[in-house]
């Protein structure tokens, strides 16, 4: 299933486009601290989206990620990060979402340190166990952000392999900027991938360009999706671009070039 990001400023057109093309939504309103701390605004947005009567468990939500260090050595920072992540789970429950996306938030400056990675892994498992207490049947997807290798998500996925609600969100644009070695990410993580983020860039920065307007080889990505059996309709694929026009152009590019549909 393909998904787009709904925008309140153009919501009726987003809904029309999504319904016309049987698309899912990934809500991007609820990672902003200013919204999470403003109960009136938070409830307002939740109620607007609930009024759409979206199909239950079709949509996803991007969880809090600004300054989220769920594995911090500082207990106060760690606890506040988990608090923000818990807020994301609560919103997802109210919206009837299938899953919530969180970033690994690994720093490439420290990724060479085995102590750092081991600590990240241990504390990530602890954080996930806490979050699953609130999750019910909501899934949690960890997304590569500044990860320069698929090894970190692989280790976490192996540690969580008995938890059916856990999965990987593979952001192709991020891996192209940080690594560029597309196939090794698919080879390593394919058994654990439940969600994708797709947008384009020029292989240097995370630009969130319209798909087809950058330098990512989408034909190769499509081949890898087929090779590793990731065309499954249960594995959602978000067109993670800014604005409905860019989403429409990206969707057209995908259809015209017969990519992952």
The answer to whether position 176 is within a domain reads yes
The β-bridge relationship of strands 99-103 and 24-27 is: unpaired
pTM of the prediction? 0.96
Distance between CA atoms of residues 207 and 204, nearest Å: 9
Average pLDDT of the segment spanning 71-77: 97
Looking at residue 260, its pLDDT comes to: 76
Looking at residue 52, its pLDDT comes to: 97
Query: Under the phi-then-psi rule, with left for phi > 0, alpha for psi from -120 to 50, and beta for the rest, what region is 162?
Result: alpha
The CATH number of the domain holding residue 101 is 3.20.20.150
Q: Are 63 and 29 in contact (CB under 8 A)?
A: no
Range of the domain at 51: 2-256
Compute the mean pLDDT over every residue in the chain, rounded to the nearest whole number.
Answer: 96
Average pLDDT of the segment spanning 78-107: 97
Kindly state the tokens that stand for 142: 């960890």
The answer to whether position 143 is within a domain reads yes
Residue 1 has pLDDT above 70, yes or no: yes
Per residue in 5-55, pLDDT tens? Answer: 999 999 999 999 999 999 999 999 999 999 999 999 999 999 999 999 999
Looking at residue 261, its pLDDT comes to: 65
Average pLDDT of the segment spanning 160-187: 96
Distance between CA atoms of residues 14 and 6, nearest Å: 6
Kindly state the tokens that stand for 45: 């947005």
| Number of independent structural domains in the chain | 1
The answer to whether position 190 is within a domain reads yes
* 3-class SS of residue 169: strand
Q: 233 burial class (0-12, 13-18, 19+ CB within 10 angstroms)?
A: exposed
The answer to whether position 261 is within a domain reads no
């Amino acid at each position: 299933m393909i998904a787009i990001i709904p925008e309140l400023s153009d919501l009726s057109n987003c809904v029309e486009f999504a319904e016309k093309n049987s698309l899912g939504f990934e809500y991007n309103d609820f990672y902003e601290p200013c919204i999470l701390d403003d109960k009136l605004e938070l409830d307002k947005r939740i109620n607007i989206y609930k009024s759409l009567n979206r199909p239950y468990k079709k949509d996803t939500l991007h969880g809090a990620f600004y300054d989220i260090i769920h594995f911090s050595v500082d207990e106060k920072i760690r606890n506040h990060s988990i608090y923000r992540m818990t807020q994301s789970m609560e919103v997802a429950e109210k919206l009837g979402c299938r899953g919530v996306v969180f970033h690994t938030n690994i720093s490439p400056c420290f990724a060479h340190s085995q102590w750092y990675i081991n600590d990240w892994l241990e504390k990530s498992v602890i954080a996930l166990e806490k979050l699953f207490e609130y999750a019910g049947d909501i899934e949690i997807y960890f997304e590569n952000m500044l990860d320069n290798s698929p090894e970190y998500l692989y280790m976490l996925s192996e540690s969580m392999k008995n938890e059916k609600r856990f999965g990987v969100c593979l952001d192709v644009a991020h891996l192209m900027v940080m690594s560029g070695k597309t196939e090794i990410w698919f080879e390593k993580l394919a058994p654990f991938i439940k969600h994708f983020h797709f947008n384009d860039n020029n292989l240097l920065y995370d630009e969130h360009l319209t798909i087809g307007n950058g330098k990512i080889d989408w034909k190769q990505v499509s081949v890898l999706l087929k090779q590793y059996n990731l065309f499954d309709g249960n594995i959602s694929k978000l067109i993670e671009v800014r604005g409905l026009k860019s989403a429409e152009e990206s969707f057209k590019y995908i259809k015209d070039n017969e990519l992952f549909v």
